[in-house]
Structure 1
Amino acid sequence: MHTTLKTRLVEVVVPVYNEQRALRDSIGRLHAYLSGTFPYDYRITIADNASTDNTWQLAIELAAELPHVRAVHLDGKGRGRALRQVWSESDADVVSYMDVDLSTDLDAFLPLVAPLLSGHSDLAIGTRLARASRVVRGPKREFISRSYNLLLHLMGARFSDAQCGFKAVRTEIAQALLPAVEDEQWFFDTELLLLAERHGLRIHEVPVDWVDDPDSRVDVFQTAKDDLRGLFRVARKTLSGAARIPVPARVSQAQLPRGMAAQLPKFAVVGVVSTLAYLLLFSGLRQMIPVLVANAIALLVTAVANTAANRRFTFGVTGSAGAMRQQFEGLMAFLVGLVLTTGSLALLPDTVSHGVELVAVVMANALATLVRFLLLRVWVFNPSRRTS
């Protein structure tokens, strides 16, 4: 066992539901690992989500047998519910959680919490999507995970893996954010991360080795549906401005140019809606007219709608004054997207599938989106131009 002075406390929450088969082995392995290698004080909290099997009794036994282990019982299901209750009452310096199957290699735990204890970062997540990560899982879960994270990126999120069950937060940050997190289930992680990023908090990412648990209790498709509903709810809150909350004064926040912090998430939401409309229109027209013509028409229609929506929601311009000029200038941004998407389609061989075409135009649109935001902010809807 390490003899390093242990002056900081890290709480590791393990949410469980009907895990009587795996619980004893997993908690024993986690306890042995932390006791033998972790250079800080730790506490393992087994959070039982109203299990109907022998899980709660096993949790009580483990708490009695192993030092630094305790058990908490909840009357309802939901990983988010368990984390909210334990984290909100914690006296640790850092709160964290991991899945009971321990799919993530425990060697990543110290790199996960160290930047939080040093004050370098505010939240930390394990990512299975980094180049250095080694992941073993089925193609269905791989496809769903990557598609979900791609959708988050289209909304403007910069973190790479929202769903990995291996995360940590500075306790003061967690307790400041928790009142604004509504979800009690699997979307809890994503909502917490989006809220943190919305407030300019620093999110550290650690590449992890991860092996899929074939006995996982997660209903993948139901979870995906719930996550999509959660995304739309967060998008509505962002557009309405209701997502803003106070955070601790001493938290170091990223500094953006004046007004940009409020504009970026709204622009991202408008962009996601515009992209989905573009893909639907492009897919429909693609069946009737040549692909390049379909692309141009779909881009033109959605560009006009995109400029109007950004004018009203992102940059707060109301009234008809200057609307025609701004639409005309917004078409300059449309031309950037047209050049990028037309070029990407022109470079594709004639034999590629429709799916590959969609991927190509989405990637080109992502690049065009960055250019469009800069043009709209510094030129089309620049306040100094509107004032003059």
Structure 2
Amino acid sequence: MHSLERTAVSDAFFEDPGSLKKVPCPSIFDPAEKYISLIMPAYNEEFRLPEALTETLNYLKQRSVADKTFSYEVLIVDDGSTDRTSKVAFEYVKKHNIDNVRVLLLGRNHGKGEAVRKGMLHARGELLLMLDADGATQVTDLAKLEAQIHALSEKVGSSLARSASSSQRLSDVEIAVFGSRAHLEKQALATRKWYRNFLMKGFHLVVLLTAGPGIRDTQCGFKMFTRSAARKLFTNIRLKRWCFDVEIVYLCKRLRIPMTEVSVSWTEIPGSKVRMTSILHMVFELLLIRVGYGLGIWKIYS
């Protein structure tokens, strides 16, 4: 599986609208070239994308000005959009240059899980953050996840130091930190329709039975990984749409990748693509996780 991914990554290119040249895609197997990569899956987001990108790039630029060691890239993965999403994204490439902003075109719609996976496999960061194109979570909250990764890395590093003389780089330590909206649950329950609450409670129960306890909010689209953790997780992940988040939690447990949850601010943004019928698709995908891994049909490569 890893060799197949390596080949697939090496054959891909980014388009540079500034020079009209093709820039070879890097591989998650290569050493990190940036401090942080932000992977933003986008499907028909021409109207919500500009605000999210502007806010994100302003924040990253401010940090890079204040700290010269802070390098970044934003990777927009256009998941087969039928609107002007790619045109909007390429305008930001022109403005901020292809070293800082890149667009990956998937050609046809695969699903959010596949868009995130492809972005992760082509990212250059020591840290990799997935975030939604609707701007529902404030990008400044990435500092909370980042701080948690550094804290956990120091713990792992100190335990390694006792058993070995060499020190590890941040990108070599396997850690996953998940943004969480669990602290907002009471407020959400009060504002949602009763049948939505019923379906969501049922969904959370199935998630608990599938991935086990530990992470209260598996579906928040704001997750950060070290490079080595992302390499293991996203070369194994199978689900392409709704429940890839749950599969990530499942894989973290199976691969013994330390994971933790951090509360983030979150705003309901109009235009959600989740429908009630989506819950049925989600439950089906959760069953796939149980069957695929439980029966050994899906192998896990470490």
TM norm structure 1: 0.56
Pair 1:24 & 2:50 matched = yes
| Residues in 2 aligned to 1:133 and 1:45: alpha-carbon distance in whole angstroms | 34
The answer as to whether partners of 1:133 and 1:209 remain within 8 angstroms in 2 is no
Describe the shift of the 1:242–1:117 C-alpha distance in structure 2 as closer, same or farther (beyond 3 A). farther
| Residues in 1 aligned to 2:89 and 2:53: alpha-carbon distance in whole angstroms | 9
Question: Relative to structure 2, which stretch is displaced further, 189-198 or 219-228?
Answer: 219-228
Counterparts of residues 6-25 of structure 1 (less than 5 Å):
9-25=35-51
Pair 1:236 & 2:266 matched = no
The answer as to whether partners of 2:132 and 2:222 remain within 8 angstroms in 1 is yes
The answer as to whether partners of 1:108 and 1:206 remain within 8 angstroms in 2 is no
| Residues in 2 aligned to 1:244 and 1:188: alpha-carbon distance in whole angstroms | 16
**What SS does the corresponding residue of 2:224 show, helix, strand or coil?**
strand
Tell which has more relative contact order, 1 or 2 (C-alpha 8 A, sep 6+). 2
**Residue 73 of structure 2, aligned match among 18, 43, 46:** 43
| Residues in 1 aligned to 2:105 and 2:190: alpha-carbon distance in whole angstroms | 31
| Residues in 2 aligned to 1:238 and 1:24: alpha-carbon distance in whole angstroms | 39
| Residues in 2 aligned to 1:18 and 1:199: alpha-carbon distance in whole angstroms | 34
Pair 1:200 & 2:256 matched = yes
Cα deviation, residue 163, structure 1 = 0.7
RMSD value, Cα:
2.6
| Residues in 1 aligned to 2:208 and 2:249: alpha-carbon distance in whole angstroms | 13
1:126-175 CA deviation, whole Å, 9 max, x = no partner?
11113799869941455544442233223423211111111111222222
Pair 1:60 & 2:109 matched = no
**What SS does the corresponding residue of 1:214 show, helix, strand or coil?**
coil
Q: Which has the higher helix share?
A: 1
1:91 equivalent in structure 2: 124
Counterparts of residues 166-185 of structure 1 (less than 5 Å):
166-185=222-241
The answer as to whether partners of 1:11 and 1:45 remain within 8 angstroms in 2 is yes
1:334-373 CA deviation, whole Å, 9 max, x = no partner?
xxxxxxxxxxxxxxxxxxxxxxxxxxxxxxxxxxxxxxxx
2:183 equivalent in structure 1: 130
| Residues in 1 aligned to 2:207 and 2:243: alpha-carbon distance in whole angstroms | 12
**Counterpart residue type for residue 38 of structure 2:** V
- For structure 2, the 5+ residue unaligned runs are 1-32, 157-173
| Residues in 2 aligned to 1:144 and 1:209: alpha-carbon distance in whole angstroms | 24
Q: Number of matched residues?
A: 240
Counterparts of residues 1-388 of structure 1 (less than 5 Å):
9-37=35-63, 40-67=70-97, 68-77=100-109, 78-117=111-150, 119=153, 122-130=175-183, 138-140=191-193, 144-155=199-210, 156-216=212-272, 218-242=273-297, 245-247=300-302
| Residues in 1 aligned to 2:136 and 2:232: alpha-carbon distance in whole angstroms | 29
**Counterpart residue type for residue 212 of structure 1:** E
Question: Relative to structure 2, which stretch is displaced further, 149-158 or 237-246?
Answer: 237-246
- For structure 1, the 5+ residue unaligned runs are 1-6, 248-388
1:353 equivalent in structure 2: none
Structure possessing the higher radius of gyration over alpha carbons: 1
Identity of aligned pairs, percent?
A: 25
**Counterpart residue type for residue 191 of structure 1:** E
**Counterpart residue type for residue 36 of structure 1:** Q
| Residues in 2 aligned to 1:167 and 1:136: alpha-carbon distance in whole angstroms | 23
| Residues in 1 aligned to 2:186 and 2:54: alpha-carbon distance in whole angstroms | 25
Describe the shift of the 1:136–1:126 C-alpha distance in structure 2 as closer, same or farther (beyond 3 A). farther
The answer as to whether partners of 1:137 and 1:211 remain within 8 angstroms in 2 is no
2:9 equivalent in structure 1: none
**What SS does the corresponding residue of 1:172 show, helix, strand or coil?**
helix
Question: Relative to structure 2, which stretch is displaced further, 192-201 or 35-44?
Answer: 35-44
| Residues in 1 aligned to 2:199 and 2:128: alpha-carbon distance in whole angstroms | 28
| Residues in 1 aligned to 2:117 and 2:147: alpha-carbon distance in whole angstroms | 22
1:237-289 CA deviation, whole Å, 9 max, x = no partner?
34324555243xxxxxxxxxxxxxxxxxxxxxxxxxxxxxxxxxxxxxxxxxx
